[in-house]
Amino acid sequence: MKRIKSLFKNKAFLALFLALILGSLIILPNIIINKGVYSLDADFNYQQIPFNKMINDSIKEGSFLWTWFNEFGSNMIGTYGFYNIFSPFNIIGYLFPSDIFQYLIGPIYILKYGICGLTSFLFLKRYVKNKNYAVLGSLLYTFSGFQLTNILFYHFHDVVAFFPLLLYTLDNLIYDNKKGRFAICVALCAITNWFFFIGQCVFLAIYFLVKFFTKEYKITLKTFINILIEGVLGVGIAMFVLIPCALFTMGNTRLSTAWSFMSSVKHPILRYFEILRAFIFPSEVMSMKGIISPNNFTSVEAYLPVVGSVLAISYFFKNYKKWISILMLILGIFMIVPILNSSFVLFQATYYARWFYMATLILSLMSIKCLEDNLKINIGVILSVICALLFFLGLFVYSSVNEVIFNKTCLILFLSFMIINLTLLCFWKKRKYGLKFLICAIFLFVTFWGNKDVFYYKVGTFKTSNYYERFLDSDKYISLDKNSRSNGSITCEFNYGYILRNNNIRVFNSNVNSSSFLFHQSLNLERSIYTNIDIKDKDMNSFLGVKYVMSCGDDLSYLGYELLYNTENGYYIYYNPSYYNFGFSLDDYISQDEFNNLSYEERRKVILDKVIMSDEQIEKYKDLFGKNVSYSSNEFEFIDNGFISNITSSGDTLAIYTIPYDKGFSATVNGKDAKIEMVDNGFMAVKINEGDNKIVFKYFTPGLKIGSIVSILSLIMYFIYMIVNNKKEKISH
């Protein structure tokens, strides 16, 4: 009993424990309702469990460089570096069989909340005398509106959990001369999610400069050099992830940097309303926005539970010259100026607010400083009320001229909770146990609001747990040739291929190979965050090698597909007799320039019987065409990180594979190196000879070799750095 009491006197443990409990209050009801499986809607259901199950199996099978289960096939590290393939939380899942992950995802989610509570406490405790306030601040950060709204994005929470460590270890290095920790945390954050890490570097630079110029940091040349060394070493250690992911992502068409002058300095009017709402009202859900728009996946949320921005505003006006206030003011400017906001996301012209969690950590610090300093909060309350009134007044005026979706039920709910929270704040000091009272209020609010968000997310695509169970268990009912490609009708959810372990092209994943984007663009096929080639377009499905078509309820026989079998729970599997085998050949060609001059409708017809090649390729291979070459056999097999194709041909020809061209592939034909050509705007082809041809394609991730070398060298240099510094410390003592 004494040990338990002493344990709870440890404030770091208390922060961890409270965050775990509060996280459990949000997550466990969903798990219980779904009989052990945590599920939500849209991105979470389509992606998180299927992705992790597939990655788990692929790593254990040795196929961790290339995956066949993402659209036409894609670079594994490049695709899933954004989905935290190397995150410590994901690694926990890899320790178990993939089929168990659907039961692990809820507990891991709770663990993320616990770690987030611990790491934010470690950062906050430096700035308060009473560590209980740091515990309170850790709850504000861990369960901010950003966290509750983004519960849909499982991989965001890893980033939020580790971010405070960057600031904590930087402070350790500068204030306490504790070396080595900052480098490791830089590497950890970069490896966990390379894209979010870019935004964290921007924030870290602002944080450092503000504290330097306000003289909060007193930097010597030696300290500055240590910061640079550790930062560079940390990035260097992560290069085995950073280089492959950077090379892979450069071809992603979602990375738009098409700025105009006005778009770079001015947001659309409604976005300013959204930013204001994010700080004064509790969080909305992305797929059922309550006030301004029906769907908004930009993560515009920053509300701190119960306290909102009241305490931070009060602290700001009392201490506007302090570094915390100056930092928050600069962050506010970055929020309202589009080009500055985009610096956190590689200067994309597409708006995202997925860095706001960093601002919530600073808001949490300002809030607990306000409480500890016993500042009056009148100005915070008054300004919050004024902002709310201006928000509603402005929105009503705007909506009288322009159409604005306005949900009155949500409006009443949001307004009611704002009034309740403001009332609690105004009277919390009058309670005998004020701090405990406030923590209890946060527990009550987060439990209610978190479960409210979960409930609204579940009123979506997967309306019942049985429906989602059918999706997760579909491999028990459906059996497809593992060396084939399939597609699904619109009655089926996305990403069945991950569950069935089949190359299914109905995929919801924004990360696919750049060559895939090139192919889609060439035929005007929509490709932003998903691939959705209609099964009614039989010619396109045949060209892409779709051997099987699955339906989750509707009859497709009228399209010319042959029914193979159906299952008792509503799946129908069809065979496509006209599909093109991988490695097919065509007897005619068209130049890239000629193809580009055709209409999209004409292009879709031409691609079925003509190879699209550059002028140089035509000059090189033109003699192979017009000879009516045929195959007497064509066998194909997916292998780990590549594929094998055995073709017996009546003559020399180009074997075409509707698999994305990638510089990571190398090929041999009958044991001899073969040049891989990019044809048809994104696919691969190799020259084969008359007779038997054994074609072997192997894949090695571009940038992984040099990245790994840099990582190993950086790790060695890190150990040398630590040994040298340890010796210096011993000598000085």
| Per-residue tokens: 616 | 């140089």
- Average pLDDT over every residue of 455-459: 80
> Which tens digits make up the pLDDT trace of 536-589?
999 999 999 999 999 988 778 888 899 999 988 889 999 999 999 999 999 999
* Domains defined for the chain, CATH in brackets: 2-33+81-458 (no CATH), 478-575 (no CATH), 589-700 (2.60.420)
Residues ≥6 apart with Cβ < 8 Å to 716: none
Indicate the pairing of strand 572-575 with strand 546-551. antiparallel
Query: Token match 């000598």: residue?
Result: 731
Chain centre to alpha carbon of residue 316: 33
Residue 102 has pLDDT above 50, yes or no: yes
Distance CA 645, CA 70 (A): 20
> Which tens digits make up the pLDDT trace of 650-675?
999 999 999 999 999 999 999 999 99
Q: 457, 27 in Cβ contact below 8 A?
A: no
Residues ≥6 apart with Cβ < 8 Å to 324: 315, 362, 365, 366, 369
Band of pLDDT at residue 362, cut at 50, 70 and 90? very high
Q: What is the pLDDT of residue 461?
A: 42
Distance CA 716, CA 713 (A): 5
Band of pLDDT at residue 463, cut at 50, 70 and 90? very low
Distance CA 285, CA 266 (A): 25
Band of pLDDT at residue 405, cut at 50, 70 and 90? low
The number of residues making up the chain comes to 733
The better pLDDT of the pair 463, 478 is held by 478
Q: What is the CA radius of gyration of the chain?
A: 28
CB < 8 Å & 24+ apart, contacts of 200-209: 200/159, 200/163, 200/166, 200/358, 202/343, 202/344, 202/355, 203/344, 203/355, 203/358, 204/166, 204/167, 204/170, 206/327, 206/330, 206/331, 206/334, 207/167, 207/170, 207/327, 208/170
Q: What is the pLDDT of residue 23?
A: 97
What percentage of the chain reaches a pLDDT higher than 90? 73
Residue 25 has pLDDT above 90, yes or no: yes
Q: What is the pLDDT of residue 401?
A: 56
> Which tens digits make up the pLDDT trace of 82-97?
998 999 999 999 999 9
